């Protein structure tokens, strides 16, 4: 990343999220002055025993569970789409198979009718009754051809019937899986809404000043994690250059900054975390799995020191969040409900792995 872009990035980070100061290692950082958490008696609106740090942790847990359920919803939706397409393809095969079967039965019926018209005697018998040697020799070839044709017709008829039975079985199995995934999708959707509703209800009980203090607590936690990550000297080792596709993916993702998070969304007006990363890489001509968990499972793992812009960072032990690395220790991501696509510190959350879509 050039010096000009690096300066713009640092400025953007400062404006968007002051907690993710993204300068080079070794720069002195002044941590924000912590705001004392009020005691229950200091906050008339607070319920007895209320602690904003506990509230922050509870909100984190609720939004984390919502993110896990969102991944489950997205996975079920993707599977349902695939199964629906498979059922349509099988239906087309069944129609063609039925048409072929009708044609073969018609041919078999014609052969039976011809045999009836000849007195019911097979070609071999009629040949043996012939007194003309030349007719006998000519007829021998026709009999052989007729036997082969009849055998081929019967074999194809049998194969077509077997294929139709298999298509029907496959379609039935796909329907069962489709219904199972519809139920999983509905259950995940219900859980997402429940978790988000619980988080919103918890936040709604806070006074304005408490919400401001809670926001500062979130910033301090992210700042501390990012500072620890930077202080490890990790940026001394990270100097990878973005690939051509990686640059396109970064350009797409950063152009979405400011758009709202919406669970299950893939743009263009809103995104969830994996919706943003999957669409960014799709725009670069590299389709990747839809969910953060599948991105973690299927894409090539990369050492953090080898990380380059465009790579995806998978967060949390259950791979419930994903962001795109954009260089200089920064990421762009869709954080959670109530937030917008933004720039943050790559080390502000617990890193599980780094994966590369265009490995």
Distance CA 91, CA 175 (A): 12
Distance CA 154, CA 310 (A): 58
Tell me if 345 sits within 8 A of 224, measured CB to CB. no
Non-local CB neighbours of 200 within 8 Å, separated by 6+ positions: 337, 338
Torsion angle of the four alpha carbons 209, 210, 215, 221, in this order, in degrees rounded to the nearest 10: 130
Catalytic residue among 213, 321, 336, 356: 321
100: its two tokens = 């072929």
Distance CA 242, CA 258 (A): 24
CA angle 286, 189, 274 (to 5 degrees): 20
Number of residues that make up the chain: 359
Distance CA 177, CA 169 (A): 13
Catalytic residue among 308, 333, 336, 356: 333
Torsion angle of the four alpha carbons 127, 129, 130, 135, in this order, in degrees rounded to the nearest 10: 10
Distance CA 220, CA 17 (A): 11
Active site residue 273: yes
DSSP state of 149: H
Tell me how far CA of residue 295 lies from CA of 274, 292, 300, in angstroms.
Answer: 8, 5, 9
Active site residue 64: no
* Neighbouring C-beta atoms of residue 209, cutoff 10 Å: 12
Active site residue 17: no
Catalytic residue among 206, 273, 280, 344: 273
User: Which run of H or of E encompasses 171?
Assistant: helix 133-204
Q: Which residues pair with 355 in a beta bridge?
A: 301, 312
Distance CA 165, CA 180 (A): 23
Distance CA 242, CA 2 (A): 12
Active site residues: 273, 321, 333
């Amino acid at each position: 990343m050039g010096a000009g872009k690096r300066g713009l990035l640092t400025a953007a980070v400062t404006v968007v999220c002051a907690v993710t100061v993204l300068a080079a290692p070794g720069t002195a950082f002044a941590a924000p002055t912590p705001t004392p958490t009020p005691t229950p008696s200091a906050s008339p609106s607070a319920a007895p025993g209320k602690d904003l740090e506990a509230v922050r942790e509870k909100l984190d847990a609720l939004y984390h569970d919502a993110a896990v359920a969102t991944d489950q919803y997205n996975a079920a939706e993707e599977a349902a789409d695939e199964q629906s397409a498979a059922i349509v393809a099988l239906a087309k095969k069944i129609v063609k198979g039925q048409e072929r079967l009708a044609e073969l039965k018609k041919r078999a019926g014609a052969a039976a009718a011809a045999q009836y018209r000849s007195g019911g005697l097979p070609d071999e018998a009629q040949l043996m009754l012939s007194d003309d040697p030349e007719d006998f020799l000519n007829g021998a070839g026709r009999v052989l051809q007729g036997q082969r044709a009849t055998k081929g017709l019967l074999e194809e008829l049998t194969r077509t019937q077997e294929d139709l039975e298999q298509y029907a079985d496959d379609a039935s199995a796909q329907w069962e899986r489709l219904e199972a995934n519809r139920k999983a999708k509905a259950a995940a959707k219900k859980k997402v809404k429940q978790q988000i509703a619980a988080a919103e209800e918890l936040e709604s009980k806070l006074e304005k000043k408490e919400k401001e203090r809670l926001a500062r607590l979130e910033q301090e936690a992210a700042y501390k994690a990012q500072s620890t990550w930077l202080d490890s000297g990790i940026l001394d080792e990270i100097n990878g250059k973005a690939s051509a596709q990686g640059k396109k993916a970064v350009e797409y993702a950063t152009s979405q900054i400011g758009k709202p998070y919406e669970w299950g969304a893939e743009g263009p007006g809103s995104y969830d975390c994996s919706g943003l990363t999957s669409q960014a890489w799709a725009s670069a001509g590299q389709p990747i799995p839809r969910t953060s968990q599948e991105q973690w499972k299927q894409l090539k793992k990369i050492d953090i020191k080898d990380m380059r812009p465009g790579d995806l960072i998978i967060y949390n032990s259950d791979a419930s969040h994903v962001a795109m690395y954009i260089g200089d220790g920064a990421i762009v991501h869709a954080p959670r409900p109530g937030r917008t696509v933004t720039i943050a510190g790559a080390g502000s959350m617990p890193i599980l792995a780094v994966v590369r879509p265009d490995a």
